[in-house]
Amino acid sequence: MNNRLDPLPPLDLPVEEMRRLGYALVERLIERHLALPALPIQHPPTRMELERKLREPLPERGIPIDDVLAQLDREVWPNIIPTNHPRFFAFVSTPNNFVSVLADALSAAMTAYAGSWLEAAGPAMIELVVIDWLRQLVGMPEGTGGHCVTGGSAANLTALAVARYAKLQDRVEGATLYCSDQTHGSIRRAFRILGFQFEQMRVMPTNARFEIDVAALAQTIARDRAEGKRPFCVVATAGTTNTGSIDPLNALADVCVRENLWLHVDGSYGAAIALTAHGLELLSGIDRVDSLTLDPHKWWFQPYELGCVLVRQPHLLRETFQYSAEYLQDTQRAGDEINFGDEGLQLTRTFRALKLWMSLKVFGVETFRRAVQYGVDLAEQAEKTLRASSCWEILSGAQLGIIVFRYIRPGLSATELNHLNHALAAESLKDGFAFVTSTTLKGQTALRFCTINPRTTFDDIQQTIARLKACGNRL
């Protein structure tokens, strides 16, 4: 029985309109892809300027979609610095691929509820396969499980929640966690969210290569034990965000086995190095860790949002996160069918694994391997170019596609050099050619390139360095 006055249900579009919009959208996506390399990097407008353009009353009545798209083209898309731009050298870029972009659209349309086997058995199976492919690629033991999350922050939070459950039975009093001064801030945030005090985190110094000082770690653990504390977890980083350094995983695994501690490795940035010829050597010891964070929306070329957490004993995920509810009773499965909604923070979850699965199948791992190696090589070429000019000092040589360097000028004090390099990063953004940001290593402010985009050319690198040099000379 249809007693509606309209021919269509609310929120439906006529089929011809759906088709027109869909095709037009695909054209837009392709135009964007083609236009990207020539696009200027835009300095962001102020909040005030955007308030004037975008603050408007709640739209009680609809307007034509073409007007809405035109508004986006005018006021919104020009005001992003696209992180897949070939000259986005700042932070960590997101050089996504078109197959995965389409996969995201497909996933939204199919509306798979990837929280339960009952509602989405096919997607759950794909997620199991993708997690196992990642496990194989990084070299974790068979039987390791895990799942997809929104990103590295969520994966780190998930892993630390499991560590808290497994080693502390969720009792946080007096417990201590160990990491380094190069550990990502998301670990500190996760630690606080999980109910620990900041003093319960022991931040270890790093050596000249920005790797955790294992001797200092062992001493600190011993001191904490002597004082009646409860050491429970070490967080190592495989590819720090600042420099790409990798903590000595085997030495840390030795400490953790001896001391009965959970070893979590944050591989958000760097675990993709496993795809290169020397990567598995660099990650030696990764087969011994309890949990690992991966972030495919970084160096695995996926669009936002996709992170992964791998756990050597996957039953711990369920024990940490599962609850029962009468309204979910029909979803319970016998045997090894998995409800990913029981394994982590989210009950309702999108089919995130699809994009990585589709792109791995379409391009093959060999293409991913070439793409990661290319980023490694680019940073090495950048280092050569920088070393050829006396105005640059290398603070951390090319490592996992990251190089940290600074502009130097004889006669300037340490503070003046810091100011100069900070100003140089800000000035370079005004130039509009490339996006370069600064960081601070052991008190020294420096510029940092992260060169993981396969569409970046060596010419992009050389021109950016030349412009930075000219800018530095002017300042």
Ligand X SMILES: *Cc1c(COP(=O)(O)O)cnc(C)c1O
Specify the residue, 224 or 266, whose C-beta has the smaller distance to ligand X: 266
Q: What share of the chain is helix, strand, coil (3-state, %, to 5)?
A: 50, 15, 35
Distance CA 332, CA 118 (A): 8
For the chain, first and last CA: distance in Å? 75
Q: Which of 241, 291, 445, 453 binds ligand X (CB under 6 A)?
A: 241
Q: Please identify, using beta-carbon distances, which residue of 84 and 153 lies nearer to ligand X.
A: 153
Tokens at 400, concatenated: 């996992």
Under DSSP, the state recorded for 46 is: P
Which tokens hold the place of 184?
Answer: 């990502």
The verdict on 346 binding ligand X (CB under 6 A) reads no
Helix (H, G, I), strand (E, B) or coil at 473: helix
Nearer to ligand X among residue 178 and residue 392 (C-beta): 178
Distance CA 50, CA 48 (A): 5
Site for ligand X in 277-306 (CB under 6 A): 295
User: What mask of x and - would describe binding to ligand X in positions 65 to 104, judged by CB under 6 A?
Assistant: ---------------------------x------------
Min dist. Cβ of residue 390 to ligand X (A): 32
The residue among 447, 455, 361 whose CA lies nearest residue 404 is 447
Stretch that binds ligand X, among 15-23, 263-271, 319-327, 387-395 (CB under 6 A): 263-271
CA atoms of 309 and 340, how far apart (whole Å) = 12
Shortest separation between residue 471's beta carbon and ligand X, angstroms: 27
For residues 281 and 288, give the distance between their C-alpha atoms in angstroms, rounded to a whole number: 14
Strand, coil or helix: what is 299?
coil
Does 153 sit near ligand X (CB under 6 A)? yes
Element at 185 (helix H, strand E) = helix 185-193
Q: Which stretch binds ligand X (CB under 6 A): 151-159, 190-198, 245-253, 378-386?
A: 151-159
For position 184 contacting ligand X by CB under 6 A, the verdict is yes
Kindly state the smallest distance separating residue 200's Cβ from ligand X, in Å.
20
Instruction: Report the alpha-carbon distance of residue 382 to residue 459 in Å, rounded.
Output: 10
State the nearest-atom distance from the C-beta of 240 to ligand X, in Å. Answer: 6
Select the span of 73-81, 113-121, 163-171, 266-274 touching ligand X (CB under 6 A): 266-274
**Identity of the residue, 276 or 302, whose beta carbon is nearer to ligand X in the bound complex:** 302
Among 117, 232, 269, 392, binds ligand X (CB under 6 A): 269
- When binding is defined by CB under 6 A, the residue of 95, 231, 279, 307 that contacts ligand X is 307
Beta bridge partners of 449: 403
Q: Which lies closer to ligand X via its Cβ, residue 186 or residue 399?
A: 186
Distances (CA, A) of 371 to 299, 378, 437, 450: 9, 11, 23, 14
Q: Report the distance separating Cα 375 and Cα 356, nearest Å.
A: 19
Give least dist CB 185 to ligand X, A. Answer: 8
Cis peptide before 305 (omega within 30 of 0): yes
Nearer CB in complex with ligand X: 398/468: 398
The distance of closest approach from Cβ of residue 449 to ligand X in the complex, given in angstroms and rounded to an integer, is 15
Q: Which is nearer to ligand X, 186 or 350 (CB)?
A: 186
Least distance between ligand X and beta carbon 214 (Å): 19
Q: What is the DSSP letter of 310?
A: E
Helix, strand or coil for residue 446? strand
Q: Answer yes or no whether residue 418 interacts with ligand X by CB under 6 A.
A: no
Nearer to ligand X, 120 or 271 (CB): 271
Minimum distance from CB of 152 to ligand X (Å)?
2
- Interface of this chain with ligand X, residues 29 to 58, rule: CB under 6 A: none
Choose which of 266, 342, 343, 383 interacts with ligand X (CB under 6 A): 266
Q: How far is CA 327 from CA 113, 320, 323, 338, in A?
A: 16, 20, 12, 18
Cα separations (Å) of 262 from 34, 106, 233, 309?
Answer: 46, 38, 4, 15
Q: Which stretch binds ligand X (CB under 6 A): 50-58, 261-269, 282-290, 367-375?
A: 261-269
CB closer to ligand X out of 153 and 396? 153
- In the beta sheet, which residues pair with residue 263? 234
Q: Is residue 211 involved in binding ligand X (CB under 6 A)?
A: no
Name the residue nearer to ligand X (CB basis): 95 or 152: 152
Size of the site for ligand X (CB under 6 A): 13
Residue 341: both structure tokens together: 């909604």
Asked if 92 and 241 touch (Cβ cutoff 8 Å), the reply is yes
Task: Compute the distance between CA of residue 138 and CA of residue 252 in angstroms, rounded to an integer.
Answer: 18
**Strand-pair partners of 423:** none
Q: Is 243 helix (H, G, I), strand (E, B) or coil?
A: coil
Closest residue to ligand X in the complex (CB) = 152
Residue whose CB is less far from ligand X, 124 or 450: 450
Stretch touching ligand X by CB under 6 A, among 73-81, 148-156, 314-322, 413-421 = 148-156
Nearer to ligand X, 183 or 339 (CB): 183
Report the interface residues with ligand X, using CB under 6 A.
92, 151-153, 184, 186, 237, 241, 266, 268-269, 295, 307
